[in-house]
Amino acid sequence: MNGKKAYPLRINAEVLAAAQRWADDELRSLNAQIEYVLRDALRKAGRLPKPGEKKENGA
């Protein structure tokens, strides 16, 4: 990924607390943990481009 973009996120307090505990357990920041979980879900769903594939414009 070449660039990062800030994105405000509204999240349930209970989910946020659980994600923070998970991040702490894995020695990641909460932001890095959320990105890791999203990237893993996208990869498993086949939504990320394969290495070497061109990205679609506007993404």
Domain-wise residue ranges, the chain: 13-44
User: On the CB side of 49, how many CA atoms lie within 13 Å of its CA?
Assistant: 9
pLDDT value at residue 53: 75
Q: Helix, strand, coil: what percent of the chain each, to 5?
A: 45, 0, 55
Query: pLDDT exceeding 90 applies to what percent of the chain?
Result: 75
Tens of pLDDT, residue by residue over 28-42, are 999 999 999 999 999
pLDDT value at residue 46: 94
Mean per-residue pLDDT for 17-24?
98
